[in-house]
Amino acid sequence: SQQGEEDPQALSIQEGENATMNCSYKTSINNLQWYRQNSGRGLVHLILIRSNEREKHSGRLRVTLDTSKKSSSLLITASRAADTASYFCATVQGGSEKLVFGKGTKLTVNP
List of residues contacting other proteins (CB under 8 A): 2, 4, 30-31, 33, 35, 40-45, 48, 50, 88, 90, 92, 96-104
Whole-number minimum distance, CB 69 to other proteins, in Å?
Answer: 21
- The DSSP secondary-structure symbol of 22 reads E
Is the Cβ of residue 14 or residue 98 nearer to other proteins in the bound state?
Answer: 98
Beta bridge partners of 92: 31, 99
Whole-number minimum distance, CB 92 to other proteins, in Å?
Answer: 6
Whole-number minimum distance, CB 45 to other proteins, in Å?
Answer: 5
CA dist 10 and 45 (Å) reads: 20
CA dist 105 and 12 (Å) reads: 10
CA dist 107 and 65 (Å) reads: 21
Is the Cβ of residue 33 or residue 72 nearer to other proteins in the bound state?
Answer: 33
